[in-house]
Structure 1
Amino acid sequence: MIKIGFLLSYDYNYIFTALDQIYQEADFIVMSYDIDGKTWAGNSVEIPQSFFDEVREYDVANKIRFYGDHFFVSGHTAMELETRQRNMMAKVMGNGGWHMQIDSDEYAYDFKKLAYFLRKNSFLLRNPAKTPATFLVNFVTLFKRDKDGFYVIAPYHEACYLVTNTPEYLKARVTNSDKNYFLNYNLIHQSWARSEEEILQKIKNWGHKDDFNVDGFFEKWKNLSEENFHLYSDFHPLDGKSWSSIEFVGSRNIQEFIEVFQGEHPQMEIINPLSSTKRIKLFLKSLF
């Protein structure tokens, strides 16, 4: 099984674009949300009943389960609470299968290629304690948008922990496993390509809000324009280096961006990062 978990909060409306990419190939989908209407920072957030009704209408194959719980706990950092929620959701998603936790603004385009790879390697699910595997993919991070398109971080080398057969999380999506493998697969992350109001809401409530100078970074985001985006280099907010440059992709909205980007950067057949010898050894391990 391919199980997908979403964390619902202030950017819940983005989830329909995310669902459009993965729904057909997913076997089970969990959407977790705070029943007290709190973010990890303890601020209030309202997810209207109409949203839940719309998701139920979307869910024609009855794959989606809502999971509400108390995810804000006073005295903990936002990152601690994010990690806690991911682990709690993983338990609700249940033992077995491939676990994939993605955010509402992450779009796994041409997901059938990743699903095919995971099902082809389902022997790793027989006894995951003996054959742990976590797969990382490439983030395509959207940094800002204007009326003509999106400014995108390039090249697409930022790593994202995405899929695992041992869903025990240490920090955000980083798993409690040292068996990590990179896949040649792109995951579009709308991330910073939002309105100014949404950006302020994001940086005050997300898991990384205490990890860097969010006010200074907000000013850097705010100041980017068509005239100066080519001057931005080595400016990742956490390490200050890994975002090398910015490129522009013309498109009217996020749906058109996905189509344009997929046309220019189609998902390739996924190359198995495990050698033939390694796969044989893991296959034999999975039998006993």
Structure 2
Amino acid sequence: MPIAYDCRYAYRSLEKIYDIADEVVLGIDRDRISWSGKPFEFDKVEFLTAVAAIDRRKIVRLVEDDFHSEPTPMANDAGERNKLSAHCRPGHWIIQIDSDEQAVNAKDFRTWLARADRTCDVQARWITVFKTFGDKCLVANEPDGRVSVGTTVPGIYRYARDTGQRKLPSNLLLLHFSWGRTRAELAQKLANWSHSADFDTGRFLQLWDTVTLENYPQFRDFHPLHPPLWSRLSLITLQAGQQATAAASAGSAAVLTA
């Protein structure tokens, strides 16, 4: 699980996948520099104390390495995933769940994974939370909405979590809180994540500011990289324990023996 500036978000993500994992590998840049080359603060003692409260089986490890020296933010993204996957036990599924994602049906996914083709790039269904209002949130309607999460081959990541292997859709549902956070946290993420150089983040943040529970139906085809990816917004109510403030941001590498 790549950990960075918003590490407190990782706790809920870890809780959601903990019971199905045989080990969890966390990673943080040893110089405390993000994929986009910006320094960040990290309270290691506080973080490890919080993780220890979750880690009942002592299966979580923290790896500190250079995750910022590649030429682009996206190359750093894939590079960190490749390095963390090398720390996972060989021969098993390596599942990358980003820390701003919450697995809705982790146990069902593990059952499905036991019968899956081990030569494929396993994909989850992404439910992108665009903005939250208490227990209500706006989610983006995505025609495909698939994201790569699983492989049995370490060191194969090419573009973020994409491995280039044949894609195999799974039953895993992921609530993705990439945008569903406070304005300050979102601004920080936009300045640091692997897409920070791919579009005008300041302009899109201004658009995000204007979205309300009253006017959201008017937003159509507005994804910052490829507009049709987000055809419209829908309103849902979060269940207890799924609030954005308890979510996560970065990436997680969990090993499942299946």
TM-score by structure 1 length?
A: 0.79
Match of 1:232 in 2: 219
Q: Find 2:106's aligned residue among 96, 107, 111.
A: 111
Match of 1:268 in 2: none
| In 1: Cα distance, 2:15 partner to 2:105 partner | 10
How far 1:156 moved relative to its partner?
6.8
Runs ≥4 residues deviating over 4 A: 251-254
Go from structure 1 to structure 2 and tell me whether the alpha carbon gap of 1:155 and 1:72 turns closer, same or farther (over 3 Å shift): closer
More helix per residue = 1
| In 2: Cα distance, 1:44 partner to 1:155 partner | 33
User: Cα RMSD over matched residues?
Assistant: 1.9
How far 1:183 moved relative to its partner?
2.2
What SS class does the counterpart of residue 65 from structure 1 fall into? strand
Go from structure 1 to structure 2 and tell me whether the alpha carbon gap of 1:45 and 1:254 turns closer, same or farther (over 3 Å shift): farther
| In 2: Cα distance, 1:171 partner to 1:148 partner | 33
Match of 2:200 in 1: 213
| In 2: Cα distance, 1:77 partner to 1:155 partner | 27
**Residue 245 of structure 1 pairs with residue 245 of structure 2:** no
How far 1:252 moved relative to its partner?
8.2
**Residue 24 of structure 1 pairs with residue 19 of structure 2:** yes
Go from structure 1 to structure 2 and tell me whether the alpha carbon gap of 1:254 and 1:219 turns closer, same or farther (over 3 Å shift): farther
What SS class does the counterpart of residue 15 from structure 1 fall into? helix
| In 1: Cα distance, 2:186 partner to 2:50 partner | 25
| In 2: Cα distance, 1:202 partner to 1:66 partner | 22
| In 2: Cα distance, 1:185 partner to 1:17 partner | 17
What SS class does the counterpart of residue 117 from structure 1 fall into? helix
| In 2: Cα distance, 1:138 partner to 1:223 partner | 27
Q: Which has the higher contact order (CA 8 A, sep 6+)?
A: 2
Which of 82-91 and 145-154 deviates more?
145-154
| In 1: Cα distance, 2:101 partner to 2:238 partner | 18
Which of 159-168 and 203-212 deviates more?
159-168
Q: Find 1:170's aligned residue among 151, 158, 178.
A: 158
Q: How does 1:22-171 map to 2 (within 5 A)?
A: 22-48=17-43, 49-73=45-69, 76-121=71-116, 124-125=117-118, 132-147=119-134, 149-154=136-141, 157-167=144-154, 168-171=156-159
| In 2: Cα distance, 1:8 partner to 1:205 partner | 12
| In 1: Cα distance, 2:202 partner to 2:192 partner | 13
User: What runs of 5+ residues in structure 1 fail to find an aligned partner?
Assistant: 1-5, 126-131, 258-288
Go from structure 1 to structure 2 and tell me whether the alpha carbon gap of 1:245 and 1:185 turns closer, same or farther (over 3 Å shift): same
Q: When the two structures are aligned, how many residues end up with a matched partner?
A: 242
TM-score by structure 2 length?
A: 0.88
Deviations 1:89-140 (A, max 9, x none): 111114220011121111111200110111234xx55xxxxxx211112110
Which of 152-161 and 106-115 deviates more?
152-161
- Please say if residues 109 and 170 of structure 2, whose CA atoms lie closer than 8 Å, have aligned partners that are also in contact: no
Go from structure 1 to structure 2 and tell me whether the alpha carbon gap of 1:148 and 1:67 turns closer, same or farther (over 3 Å shift): closer
How far 1:29 moved relative to its partner?
0.5
| In 2: Cα distance, 1:62 partner to 1:163 partner | 23
| In 1: Cα distance, 2:211 partner to 2:103 partner | 27
Match of 1:279 in 2: none
**Residue 204 of structure 1 pairs with residue 223 of structure 2:** no
Match of 1:273 in 2: none
How far 1:57 moved relative to its partner?
2.8
